[in-house]
Amino acid sequence: MGSVTDSPNTEAGKKITVIFVLGGPGSGKGTQCTNIVQNFGYTHLSAGDLLRAEIKSGSENGTMIQNMIKEGKIVPAEVTIKLLQKAIQESDNEKFLIDGFPRNEENRSSFESITGIVPEIVLFFDCSEEEMEKRLLGRNQGREDDNIETIRKRFNVYMESSLPVIQYYDSLGKVRKIDAAKPIDAVFEDVKAIFEKVVA
């Protein structure tokens, strides 16, 4: 890891390392994030989990988020980013995995301008639509959104909105693409090789 001088990512004197974790629904991001946390000591922040926790807290902010979701509106990027920023500031850790965010180009530019944090790298779990479909349909978790039409819709939305983010970071040489179609253990071997370089 670099020193404070070669990175703009400083928060209250801490040198912050942020890694964005991107990949389509069913690409295995959650499983690999758990492995990274256990092996490399990162704190895992999921934008969706933070929004749900805020709603549960019953705060004014939480009520506003809940109402927006109920009305089918998209929660503004600033709201999600402020929750991520708060989680980073309140944590004793300096290394963070941010999972499933930024979802689109607007999220990305807002995150960098609000927090002043640029990700160290972007982990991109690359998986074919067929493989993701197979996994989501085989999950049997009783999730209502795991039917074929919904899966395809989610995949298309993901491709349209997230690809520009991946292309942007790729142009900066920050994307580390992982073949997520491989078995879980094989995928983690690839992840480990990347993290050993980041941590070094």
Task: Dump pLDDT digits (tens) for 80-115.
Answer: 999 999 999 999 999 999 998 998 999 999 999 999
What gap in Å lies between CA 40 and CA 27, rounded to an integer?
21
> What is the DSSP annotation of 159-173?
HHHHHHHHHHHHHTT
Annotated binding-site positions for a ribonucleoside 5'-phosphate: 52, 73-75, 100-103, 143, 154
Query: Cβ distance 27 to 166 under 8 Å?
Result: no
Q: How far is CA 125 from CA 24, 112, 140, in A?
A: 8, 22, 22
Annotated binding-site positions for CMP: 107
Q: How far is CA 118 from CA 133, 174, 179, 183, in A?
A: 32, 10, 24, 31
Return the H-helix or E-strand segment holding 95. Answer: strand 95-99
**β-pairing verdict for 17-23 and 95-99:** parallel
pLDDT band for position 2 (cuts 50, 70, 90):
very low
Mean pLDDT of 118-145: 77
pTM over 0.85: no
Q: Is the model's pLDDT at 46 over the cut of 50?
A: yes
Q: Is the model's pLDDT at 148 over the cut of 90?
A: no
pLDDT band for position 199 (cuts 50, 70, 90):
low
User: Class for domain 16-195, per CATH?
Assistant: alpha beta
What gap in Å lies between CA 118 and CA 124, rounded to an integer?
16
Q: Which residue has the higher pLDDT, 47 or 13?
A: 47
Per-residue pLDDT, 16: 92
Q: What is the mean pLDDT of the chain?
A: 85
Per-residue pLDDT, 120: 95
Per-residue pLDDT, 5: 36
What gap in Å lies between CA 79 and CA 107, rounded to an integer?
10
Per-residue pLDDT, 132: 75
Mean pLDDT of 6-15: 60
Annotated binding-site positions for ATP: 26-31, 139, 182
Q: Which residue has the higher pLDDT, 192 or 6?
A: 192
Query: Cβ distance 33 to 21 under 8 Å?
Result: yes
**β-pairing verdict for 14-15 and 10-11:** antiparallel
Q: Which residue has the higher pLDDT, 47 or 133?
A: 47
Q: Is the model's pLDDT at 142 over the cut of 70?
A: no
Q: Is the model's pLDDT at 18 over the cut of 70?
A: yes
Annotated binding-site positions: 26-31, 52, 73-75, 100-103, 107, 139, 143, 154, 182
Q: How far is CA 63 from CA 51, 57, 87, 149, 183, in A?
A: 11, 9, 19, 31, 41
